[in-house]
Structure 1
Amino acid sequence: MSEANVQELECLLTLAEELHFGRTAGRLGYSQSRVSQLVAGLERRIGMRLVERTSRRVELTRFGAQFVDEARPAYEALNAVYARARERALRGGLQELRIGFHGSVYEEVTEAFRLFRERYEVTMVLSEIPWGSPFSAVLDGRLDAVVVELPAREPELTVGFRFPPQDQLLAVAASHALAAAGRVHVEELAGLDLLRPIGDAPAYWTAARTPPTTPAGVPIRSSTGIATVQEGLVVVAGGEHGMLLCRPMAASVVRSDVRYLVVDGLDEPSQLGLIWHTDRAAPQLVELAGLLRESYFRRAV
């Protein structure tokens, strides 16, 4: 197949059906001389006569008939590949979307992904990303988009959809003195040792997860870094640290040895975003953002 000309093969397969150079030329939109050239070229490549030509009829040689029987399935399979590629191109060119997330994807997002997959026949490949590296996999092309907490201020990033704002929660051990309160004021964070994400996240993003001070300017201690949300909750359960999380993430990771407290007094609520590289904004991503927007609008009314 590496040396075969697709036009030559198409011409021979059509000629095998029509057994007439004029009708073959008409079907393919070629001249009769062009059909003859293509068939002759294929015969030269193979090194064997494929078609017997007389003034009254055209027929395949025994070798030609065998070649046609073997070549037709491969040609039809190739045509199917081109057809699927063309269809994907009309929809934007991607057959799958690779989406990264922190912790786990909560149910509302999973449902939107399911509907999107059914509606557009696009495979969703989901993968957890390190807590401290929210954007790097999108920036270097390993992922098409991520669902992570905002902000996202890099000029190369587009926030395609902003999820509804949620409470910011503080995770503490069930044995912690604050655990029974249910809520905590932001100024009380100064009495905790907050876990910080380790990775290549921008400083502004890390500061939102682990603020260096309270709004009143009191320093907040942060002596330990962690790579994933799950690792952080294991450390929190040990009793000495706290960890700030968005509500959807906390809701997806329930542990009997960890309590989640609403944090009052923060300047900004927690908010997730669907984020992709500005220069690689596939139409499917725009469609996914629209489906999420539609889904949350219906839920709000």
Structure 2
Amino acid sequence: MAQVNVQELECLLTLAEELHFGRTATRLGCSQSRVSQLVAGLERRVGVRLVERTSRRVELTRFGAQFVDEVRPAYETLTTVLARARDRAGRGALQELRIGFHGSVYEEVTEAFRRLRAHHEVTMALSEIPWGSPFSAVLDGRLDAVVAELPLREAELTVGFAFPPEDRLLAVASSHPLAGAARVHAEELAGLDLLRPTGDAPDYWTAAHAPHSTPSGAPIRSTRGITTVQEGLVLVAAGEHAMLVCRPLSERITRGDVRYLVIDGLDDPSRMALIWRTDRAIPQLTALAGLLHEEFSGAKIPG
């Protein structure tokens, strides 16, 4: 495939805004003939005319307008990344990892982040990801890694560190008939309306967090989807729905109108993991995985 010159893209995007070769040349600090050369070069690479130029006006062809709309986001992302890199280099700033997470971040995780900065000169840019989209942001490169719940069956992704397994609990309203019990059996889920994560998660992942049936095969209703854990807890508190959550979340998010019950009879516990793209296992991520292992195994090196 013919390689596209970034200067050619910049020229076309500027021309698409100005629709005038002279003003485009002024903005780019070059001659009008150079603008013509860059546009012509891009058209040769793409293999189709992008710009129509007459004695009276300049306009994009239909394909040119579509091409501009599609390429502009990628070009803006590239220029942003380059600007950030130049800024960090100019300031001698630390390297940065972009990490997504579900719900809340464990104290052990934040301690691993602190140690990564102190010993490896890497900072964290954290962002919460939708409950029903655990993997998309790392797959498309918007994030370097995510701390999300398993299971994971994507060949493009790698589990860098799997957190210790935790109990899966049932969240119900404090007014719910089950709320007075400390435990509930998995078969009782058949009488509930379970909230399910909505998004672009694989079907197997969604089913793990809102199963379609009990272990014996009894169907479980699920009439409402949610995008965040907080949204789910609000709906649970209203009394019409229930939701499966992990024990650490129940310990970090307490509400007077929600009760968390241990579920007996479920084979698979809840488990979080640090996940990254298999082809982007950079040293900073493997260092973070090692620090997480130390934090959760108790084999931490002082500092």
TM-score with structure 1 length normalisation? Answer: 0.68
Corresponding residue for residue 42 of structure 1: none
* Equivalent residue in structure 1 for 2:89, among 81, 86, 95: 81
Distance 1:266 1:276 in 2: 28
Offset of 1:84 from its aligned partner?
Answer: 4.8
Offset of 1:272 from its aligned partner?
Answer: 0.6
Larger radius of gyration: 1
Give the ranges of 4+ consecutive aligned residues of structure 1 lying more than 6 Å apart after TM superposition.
none
Corresponding residue for residue 114 of structure 2: 114
Task: Say whether residues 1:97 and 2:97 are aligned partners.
Answer: yes
Offset of 1:112 from its aligned partner?
Answer: 1.7
Distance 1:121 1:83 in 2: 14
Instruction: Give the share of equivalent positions with the same residue, in percent.
Output: 71
Contact 2:116 2:123 in 1 (8 A): no
The number of equivalent residue pairs is: 214
Distance 2:246 2:226 in 1: 17
Contact 1:106 1:249 in 2 (8 A): no
Distance 2:89 2:123 in 1: 17
Cα offsets for 1:127-146 (capped at 9, x unmatched): 11100000000000011111
Please identify, of 108-117 and 274-283, the stretch whose mean Cα deviation from structure 2 is larger.
108-117
Cα offsets for 1:196-216 (capped at 9, x unmatched): 011000000000000000010
Offset of 1:279 from its aligned partner?
Answer: 0.8
Cα offsets for 1:130-186 (capped at 9, x unmatched): 000000000000111111110111000000001000000111111111112111111
Q: Any residues of structure 2 matched to 1:195-234 within 5 Å, and which?
A: 195-234=195-234
User: Secondary structure at 2:138's aligned position in 1?
Assistant: helix
Corresponding residue for residue 45 of structure 2: none
TM-score with structure 2 length normalisation? Answer: 0.68
Cα offsets for 1:67-126 (capped at 9, x unmatched): xxxxxxxxxxx9x938959xx8xxxxxx11111111111222122222222221211111
User: Secondary structure at 1:178's aligned position in 2?
Assistant: helix
Distance 1:159 1:201 in 2: 16
Q: Any residues of structure 2 matched to 1:20-39 within 5 Å, and which?
A: none
Q: Which amino acid aligns with 2:89?
A: V
Residue 240 to residue 277, structure 1, CA distance change in 2 (3 Å): same
Cα offsets for 1:30-86 (capped at 9, x unmatched): xxxxxxxxxxxxxxxxxxxxxxxxxxxxxxxxxxxxxxxxxxxxxxxx9x938959x
